[in-house]
Structure 1
Amino acid sequence: MKGHIEEVRCLDAKGGYVVSGGTDNLIKIWLLETRACIKTLVGHRNWVRTIKIHNDQEHIISGSFDTDVRIWSIQTGNCLKVLSGHKDYISSISCFGDILLSSSFDHSIKIWDMKTGKCVATLCDHTNRVAAVDVTAYNREVLFVSVSYDCTLRLWTSYSGRFV
């Protein structure tokens, strides 16, 4: 399946879709059934580093070396929200319901409300680039996990914003 004009650096698959992002600053939406690119999303000003299809299969979330996180409509291909606030590259994103996490080379993790597009918290306990972040439900709690170039893995509780 060809479509990008430069290197492809990230992908996600869910339901009947695959989404890909690359160094051409583009996002492609592919339909698995036909193996065809059905949309090309344009908006990032630097290459797309990380991408996810939301569990609702209506939204795509992307993070870029332009320091922005974007929320897109799968149906229309339109960018619905631009989440700005990181001071360096976006390294990873993860979602759980309306909670969206972004990690960055600026040593921080931001917690966003997907509905409003507002940053509700910034976690800054890593002392080097944050390489990846994920979110999961465990024992009736929502937990965030992050790994960093500072050689640590941190586990955060969503209620306190503190690592445990």
Structure 2
Amino acid sequence: MLLLSHLPEDVLYHILSYLDYKSLTRLSQVCKTTYHFVNRDAVWRKTAKEFLNTGITRNGTDIYPSIPLKERVKIAQNWYDGVCKKAINLKWKTKLLPWLQLDGNVLFLSQAADIGAYRLATDSGKLQRKSLEIYSGHKGDVCRFVLTDSHLISGGSDGKILVHSRRRDMSMELSGHNQEVNCLDSKGGLIVSGSRDRTTRIWTLTSNCPRDTIPMYDRVWSVAISPTLRSFVTGTACCENLSPLRVWDVERSKSVCSLGLEFRRGAGVLDMVFESPFQLFTCGYDTFIRLWDLRLPRKCVMEWEEPDDSALYCIQTDGNHMIASGSSYYGVVRLWDKRQTKCLQFFQLSVHPVSSPVYCLRFSSSHLHAALATSLHSLDFRKNPIRIR
């Protein structure tokens, strides 16, 4: 009699590719041989692509290679079902407009004029209260900041941009805007900033003077550089007779096109994120998340509406099926499955009568971190794990 374990590995992989996650788990309990074989990442890769936030992107890239895929699929079931443990990691007395970035197990948080780097405990995901490092230098509040491999770049209400080296104790000041820098992005040595002064400026890491200044005729709320580095997109307040979303050529500093023509007045775009060179997600005051295809004929291909008619302050995606959004009232975080239009799960982080927007959110494979006006919250999706039987 031919046993399953006697089959060639390529044949076994092909057979197991037809099983769902419950069947794979049951099969792993048959004997030690099948247990060790079934627990391989190669067996779970196809299954993991169908779940939310397993770290497998649509093009097959694995964001969290150090975590076994089987464990990530178990946690992904908790994301889908909304099973998590809520915690408040930090509180502060003065209302702020905080911003977050996540780099592995280090969380960067802006509070007023400073940005602190905090280590997340590997076992619990809790924030260690003592900061690893503080980045300072602004004379007003930090509005936005971004991380690159070598630098932390921040824009402040003082109209300045500070470029901090993450490897050496040195920084550079970029002066040019005369009002607060609402947004910025940086990739490949390029910096693009947008300001309340109705301009967008293009900079490089090698100079403290702007390479180009683009009049926008409206306040700029968001900006994102394409992964190709050949173009960038700006989102404005939509207070003028112009589309709030425009695509720009980096080399020529010229507008390539406008996205959408039916935005109502005041439908400003507050956040945007590229998921691929031709896929852009946006959100803002008009209560919609929109997915834009930047290939000709450049159009919105899908949209998701916030059920409570609240402005959406921030969005993030997992590169595959999941979107997380933060709304303007009562600290509501929503999880969306791109394969359906209705909200999948929601979490209210602030309690009535206290109301705060979710100014920024970031997530890993097991945790979601959300910054509100007076507190930093976390959702731990490893708690009370679903047992696969």
TM class, shorter-chain normalised?
A: 0.7 to 0.9
Are residues 62 and 78 of structure 1, via their aligned partners in 2, closer, same or farther at CA, if it must alter by over 3 Å? same
Check whether the contact 1:95–1:135 (CA below 8 A) recurs between aligned residues.
no
**2:195 equivalent to 1:22:** yes
In the alignment, is residue 75 of structure 1 matched against residue 251 of structure 2?
yes
* 1:125 matched residue in structure 2: 306
| 2:220 matches 1:48 | yes
CA distance in 2, matches of 1:25, 1:144: 30
Q: Pick the aligned partner of 2:263 from 57, 70, 86.
A: 86
AA aligned opposite 1:130: L
Matched with 2:332 is: 152
Task: Return the offset for 1:136.
Answer: 2.2
**Code of the aligned partner of 2:229:** Q
Q: Spell out structure 1 runs of 4+ moving beyond 3 A.
A: none
One-letter amino acid matched to 1:71: V
Q: Report SS of the residue matched to 1:50.
A: strand
Structure 1 position 122, deviation (Å): 2.1
Residue ranges of structure 1 left out of the alignment (5+ in a row): none
Aligned to 1:31: 204
Give the structure, 1 or 2, with the largest relative contact order (CA under 8 Å, sep 6 or more). 2
Gaps of 5+ in 2: 1-173, 345-389
CA deviation map 1:91-149 (0-9, x unaligned): 11111112111111121112111123211122113311111112222xxx332211102
Aligned to 1:12: 185
Q: CA RMSD in A?
A: 1.7
Residue of structure 2 in register with 1:60 after alignment:
232
In structure 1, how many angstroms separate the alpha carbons of the residues matched to 2:312 and 2:272?
11
Residues 93 and 100 in structure 1, CA contact (< 8 A), matched pair in contact too: yes
Tell me the TM-score normalised to structure 1 length: 0.87
Identical columns (%)? 23
